[in-house]
Structure 1
């Protein structure tokens, strides 16, 4: 026993000596972790990594921010520190045998980073509220818009003209797939009530981060305006601070100055944009001359977006916009007066002085959030005020038209919108929502007219005044529910129901089924198809219950029925395929057919350039679209070609706007709608060479309709725009980087006529632009 005790003691002694010898060959790394103000950071995780990135030791800091990692083999190591609420930090330490290596690391607060991450998470949740399954979709990125010849100075309607199936018309109107207007504008998923139609654009292209145009058979979420959904995702200040100043000008005494600024401060971010401009080509010229008469315009707009991240899963935001435009109505020289005023029947038509002003304002307060998993929601309150004032030439209009009408129209809308998404499981995503809107329209017109006999002949050269005022409050309600069902990894079906009700000049409602599918036939081939039942109320701000009987016996008298304008009801079918031919080239083909009852159309029937809705009892619209997109390295190009037919039969509302011959003909014949265009095409592309980008775009149309009951059409037209963008970079810090742009509109000076003043609801001729030169400078900061 005694010998065994001595042996054990000796073994322990040898083990202790060996341990001390081993420890003498190791080192330790110690240090202190603080924030940017020097305050210690406790419970920070410290990891020691070797040259290969492998962790060889780890610990946490104590209450004083200190740490120690022992038994570190000699060598050079990375000390990596992470802590909640801070960006990660690191330092280099060298371990030596029997020595301590000390480091000090200051961590930066990661509030801004956290806010950016939270904002992006909320953006993804918001975008997921808007499904696209079964629809035809055309996307414009911010880069796509910048590369257009006019860049961000391109009007929004001109941007949309580069999408398939979009036809151009006078006064800035667009026709998508054979519809008159019927576009719904959404900003970050929020429906922006439409303004009273006019000449100016209500939204500035500069605010766009991404623009999507959805057409075809839309999911149940989209209603009321269904020819196309213009989905705008705005710029924000979530990812940093900066701004830009842009000056753009050229032909027709054009000058436009625009500025925007964006940034963030902790959980608060903002984006503001504004512009002011004027030119002498505010409205399309009614003659083929290069310089229109009396066509000056002043235009200004502003937009703001502010958001505050309440917590990682909730955000509140406020957006607002205002647009104020004033237009002179261009003149046609050489016209002969048709009436006599105070014994005078002479007036130089080039000296007419008609004007129109437009104001549109909107604001939206939005609460948006997610639970980080299954549920997303967005609740918004929206208000909009819009007004249009037409000022006649009190003498000239009486002499030429027999009517001088001062027209003031205003409309106020207030609405609430709720959209939700619930991910039931991996295969089913349920979306549901409600929408309600109250709208109040005011029509305050005052007409100066001449008395006439039963044959319509002027009986006095002294005008009389007839007031024509009315107002109306209307309501829209809707609710929808839909399920996005992923049957397989290749096939997704979105099916749902939508209920719409209107209580305006007429009361009506409809329950509308929707179904759409997307099938990935091969890795490079995708097929989509859909059916939608649509319910489209007439534009409330344009419908009036004016008593036409009060104008009997005057030059403003009309005859015929004045049945109320009804909502359009339609069945819509869409089928398309997209094929990626090469990694650089994608093509698509899409076919659609719409069958309508009470098909809605609009026309300009009075002297004021404000549109009036009416119905065809029967309607049919069908077409085929081809699109191609190419992008490789420094070259990009696109081309869209669309064939369309839009027809109606038997006008069954607002009949007094039409002559008896036209009414009789249309009652028994399918006629083309005035905006029908057989072939519409758009194309464009860019080529970058160093710091220079060459760009072009263009449109081609087979001509809109004209003549008695739209039985004729105008000639084929083409417009090509050329541009060059130069990126400058000076070493001088006061100048730095900026972009210069040169633009040639209608480069081949192909003068064309959009309208000739004939056709259903067409009030005057309009010509496209002559060749024009513009230049711009953009400085970012």
Structure 2
């Protein structure tokens, strides 16, 4: 778990993003923005986020970049065979508890900046007033590395971003047993799509056959607004909560009309939107101190709109492209529904033995309709003091994100360079899987603990996504059969002002036979996948992270490291990019007071070794362009409390 202190201790502290925090957890793999930023146990997306126990629904952009770190009081990543109360997105649960306001009203403002023309202005404020508790945080962000650089250079070309994020929380204690809470959040971000210079034109358009790839002007905007209203009540041995949630999100990619045609033969104006409203209810009945029954439901409706408005080059009778583009308009809109319910029994059979068994039912009515009854069970055994052993099984049902599974009208691309080699567009189906997980956590000394976890997943219709065009958006498809297996090792040492941790994970995910949106694939690659189990593009064999922090003479220093053996690349993902290591450093201390409030200074170095490493090389399934990790950057910040 990352509490507030451990988040502040990480290099860049409150300025780091939630996905960068998660990279310090076992089995979490770094990826590019186009690939989803990170992967838990080699899964693509399939992660759910909960704030104060309330599920936040999917949108058309990832929550890893939407939420502001400033509001996080604590953050935990829960993996494995999840209990029945957690459904739909099951690779991992990011469980966030919002910060509680201070007893005395106050907050802080910060200035933070440095390399890559970075500037941030975070603020936060909290107060307890009578029965009210309120907390708000937000920031403005500007830098020249909004998305991953396409080259190994220190500075990317055409990669400016401007972002604004806000989070607000308010709760009112109606009485000692009843509380009404409200959560709201906003993220508005504009991105320039980075350029790769010296690329060779592939087509001619409007009589032009040359364009300087360093001067392309592609842009993308992302907007997200979410709100949660929750009523919680405690009566005797019963605790209940009823929540209403909503999320409105849009993504809009605007192409360089001439440049995209000359380099790609198509210029696509891509718009995606999703508006979700839903209810979630949970109740827990404590039969005894050692026995708790739980039940709950969730229902949500989502209205999505996906529009691909393209200019594309037609072809003549011999298949040669012409230089006068034609219009291809492909809209899709859908009102879809998801509903689910669960019952769960957690029973401490003996002092050293706990059983958790449950049953979950989920139903989806989207582009396809499907349902599943899913049993879950786990046993936790503590044979000796300091040792905890667990073994668990879960049956999972994972609907595809509705915006990512919108159908494509292949007919609008007939007689153009985009006419697919495989004219099949079977609908994207929900993933069904059996998941087994076992592990042990052992406290070796009062300061040192270590853990080992193994897992195995067997799936039908494994869900995967890829970037199959210039826009930084994903399109979903299924592998007919797949498996995912791995081993994770973790250690944590804590003594006084010194804290250190290390994680290492081995994993393998492979699938075969593409059964939906087949048109996305070339015929040779499609045939190969039909006859072989291949690695998914985001599969990484070895993943590691480590870090340490210490306070000396009032100055806290910290170091963090991430390691990856390389994501997949090449034809049918048969190779991988080179291994890499990124090391970050941080120093921060209180340097004085202003109006009797502390003033804090921090200094951060990202990628100390200045290692130019690739996350993607532009090849592999659903990989449109190369992406590199950040080069060395120096950053300073001042934080003034008030």
Shorter-chain TM range is over 0.9
Alignment partner for residue 207 of structure 1, among 71, 80, 93? 71
TM-fit CA distance, 1:453:
2.6
Alignment partner for residue 600 of structure 1, among 443, 463, 469? 463
Partner of 1:770: 631
Give a deviation string over 1:514-573, Cα, whole Å, max 9, x none: 001211111111111110000001111211122111110112222321111110000000
Partner of 1:88: none
Instruction: Determine if contact 2:408/2:425 at 8 Å carries over to the other structure.
Output: no
**Structure 1: runs of 5+ lacking an equivalent:** 1-138
* Separation of aligned partners in 2, 1:769 and 1:201: 17
Partner of 1:669: 532
Instruction: Determine if contact 2:108/2:123 at 8 Å carries over to the other structure.
Output: yes
* Separation of aligned partners in 1, 2:70 and 2:102: 17
Q: Which moved more, 1:627-636 or 1:338-347?
A: 338-347
Give a deviation string over 1:205-253, Cα, whole Å, max 9, x none: 1111111111000000001000000000001327442111111100011
Partner of 2:211: 347
Partner of 1:192: 56
* Separation of aligned partners in 1, 2:61 and 2:152: 25
Partner of 1:158: 20
Partner of 1:519: 381
Q: How many residues align structurally?
A: 639
Instruction: Determine if contact 1:198/1:610 at 8 Å carries over to the other structure.
Output: no
**Structure 2: runs of 5+ lacking an equivalent:** none
Alignment of 1:340-739 (within 5 A): 340-371=204-235, 373-459=236-322, 461-560=323-422, 561-730=424-593, 733-734=594-595, 736-739=597-600
Distance 1:300 1:614, change over 3 A: same
* Separation of aligned partners in 2, 1:170 and 1:710: 16
Task: Write out the 4+ residue segments of structure 1 that deviate beyond 3 Å after TM superposition.
Answer: none
Instruction: Determine if contact 1:427/1:485 at 8 Å carries over to the other structure.
Output: yes
Instruction: Determine if contact 1:236/1:305 at 8 Å carries over to the other structure.
Output: no
* Separation of aligned partners in 2, 1:365 and 1:202: 19
* Separation of aligned partners in 2, 1:199 and 1:354: 23
Asked if residue 270 in structure 1 is aligned to residue 134 in structure 2, the reply is yes
Partner of 2:149: 285
Give a deviation string over 1:594-638, Cα, whole Å, max 9, x none: 000001111111221210010000010000000000011121100
* Separation of aligned partners in 2, 1:551 and 1:607: 17
Instruction: Determine if contact 2:87/2:397 at 8 Å carries over to the other structure.
Output: yes
* Separation of aligned partners in 2, 1:150 and 1:224: 33
Give a deviation string over 1:344-375, Cα, whole Å, max 9, x none: 1111000000000000110011101111x310
Give a deviation string over 1:61-113, Cα, whole Å, max 9, x none: xxxxxxxxxxxxxxxxxxxxxxxxxxxxxxxxxxxxxxxxxxxxxxxxxxxxx
* Separation of aligned partners in 2, 1:559 and 1:183: 33
* Separation of aligned partners in 2, 1:391 and 1:533: 41
* Separation of aligned partners in 2, 1:217 and 1:198: 23
SS in 2 for 1:303: strand
Instruction: Determine if contact 1:284/1:768 at 8 Å carries over to the other structure.
Output: yes
Asked if residue 259 in structure 1 is aligned to residue 123 in structure 2, the reply is yes
SS in 1 for 2:197: coil
* Separation of aligned partners in 1, 2:556 and 2:544: 24
User: What root-mean-square deviation, in Å, do the aligned CA atoms of Structure 1 and Structure 2 show?
Assistant: 1.2
* Separation of aligned partners in 2, 1:640 and 1:455: 56
SS in 2 for 1:773: strand
Give a deviation string over 1:374-424, Cα, whole Å, max 9, x none: 100110000110000000001101111111111111000000000110011
TM-fit CA distance, 1:426:
3.1
Alignment partner for residue 180 of structure 1, among 21, 44, 57? 44
SS in 1 for 2:364: strand
TM-score, scaled relative to structure 1: 0.81
Instruction: Determine if contact 1:588/1:627 at 8 Å carries over to the other structure.
Output: yes
* Separation of aligned partners in 2, 1:456 and 1:544: 29
* Separation of aligned partners in 2, 1:751 and 1:520: 46
TM-score, scaled relative to structure 2: 0.98
* Separation of aligned partners in 2, 1:534 and 1:430: 21
TM-fit CA distance, 1:178:
1.4
Asked if residue 747 in structure 1 is aligned to residue 611 in structure 2, the reply is no
* Separation of aligned partners in 2, 1:606 and 1:557: 14
SS in 2 for 1:554: coil
Instruction: Determine if contact 2:61/2:249 at 8 Å carries over to the other structure.
Output: no
SS in 1 for 2:528: helix
SS in 2 for 1:283: coil
TM-fit CA distance, 1:292:
0.7
* Separation of aligned partners in 2, 1:538 and 1:357: 23
* Separation of aligned partners in 2, 1:690 and 1:275: 31
* Separation of aligned partners in 2, 1:584 and 1:540: 46
* Separation of aligned partners in 2, 1:308 and 1:427: 31
Pick the structure with greater CA Rg: 1
Instruction: Determine if contact 1:238/1:269 at 8 Å carries over to the other structure.
Output: no
* Separation of aligned partners in 2, 1:764 and 1:146: 34
TM-fit CA distance, 1:198:
5.7
Instruction: Determine if contact 1:314/1:370 at 8 Å carries over to the other structure.
Output: yes
